[in-house]
Amino acid sequence: MPESHHADIRSLDLFSEMEESNFKALMRGSYVQNFPQRIELIMEGESSDFLHVVLSGSVDLYSCWNDQETSMATIRPVSTFILAATIKDAPYLMSARTLEKSRIALIPSQDVRAIFDIDAAFARAIVNELAQCYRTVVKNTKDLKLRSSLERLANYLLRQHNKTGSSVIDLSMEKRRLASFLGMTPENLSRAFKGLSPFGVTVSGSQIKIGDVETLEAFAKPSVLIDNMQS
């Protein structure tokens, strides 16, 4: 892999603390590839030969069953995905496709497992990352099971607001994908936006404006145990 990408990967929590020699060993078998928009990177059920790192662009993780498809997560730079499958050497549970032109690093899974055993800092970083992923999915499940679609949308907007600090939110994805991520149909999302207008939410294209955060929070009732992205 070209040295130029090492810094990006090295800056990830997952790789920042490990021994330089082990990092170099990991990079030796790895390579970076550029993908156009809407390219299938992996299909669920396949075996997990590579740990993937999104260097630029973005990737959609999704799953299918019975001719339906649902969006599970969006991966943005610089993050890894399918770490669990890599660790367990088990089939992917989710498919992945690029949402836009993306640069992806591919690190052989067996190298990851091998270095894990000899580098304690790397091991600790991996376990931290996995624990983080686990907690994210648990929060997602709570969101799905305890909230209505209107409440899910309201809290999604508030999370985006907390992330960017701006009261104008750019969805930065198709509304149909947001709908799928939130577990509803595009039609329903459209109506949900309308349903939030009494709480000061206005829509213009992919720009969503939160008129008054307190009003929206009073409806959405965000919880640190569901909506806090850090812990």
In terms of C-beta density within 10 A (0-12 exposed, 13-18 middle, 19 or more buried), how is residue 31 classed?
middle
Of the residues 88, 124, 176, 221, which one makes contact with DNA according to CB under 7 A: 176
Given a contact cutoff of 8 angstroms between Cβ atoms, the answer to whether 9 and 55 are in contact is yes
Query: Pick from 123, 191, 209, 213: which binds DNA (CB under 7 A)?
Result: 191
Compute the C-alpha angle 215/174/106, nearest 5°. Answer: 115
Q: How far apart are CA 20 and CA 37, in angstroms?
A: 34
- Cβ proximity to its own copies, 27 vs 94, nearer residue: 94
Give the Cβ contact number of residue 169 at 10 Å.
20
Stretch of 13-21, 51-59, 129-137, 159-167 contacting its own copies, by CB under 8 A: 129-137
Q: Which long-range contacts (CB under 8 A, 24 or more apart) does 64-69 make?
A: 64/95, 69/180
Q: What are phi and psi of 52, to 5 degrees?
A: -105, 140
| CB closer to its own copies, 8 vs 143 | 143
CB 158 within 8 A of CB 220: yes
> Residue 10's binding partner, choosing from DNA, its own copies, none, with beta-carbon cut-off 5 to 8 A by kind?
none
123 touches its own copies (CB under 8 A): yes
When CB distances are held under 5 to 8 angstroms depending on the partner's kind, the choice from DNA, its own copies, none that residue 161 binds is none
Residues that bind its own copies (CB under 8 A): 44-45, 63-66, 68, 70, 72, 83-85, 87-88, 90-91, 93-94, 116-118, 120, 123-124, 126-128, 130-135, 137-142, 144-147, 183, 221, 223-226, 231
Residues that bind DNA (CB under 7 A): 148-150, 174-176, 183-191, 193-194, 203, 205
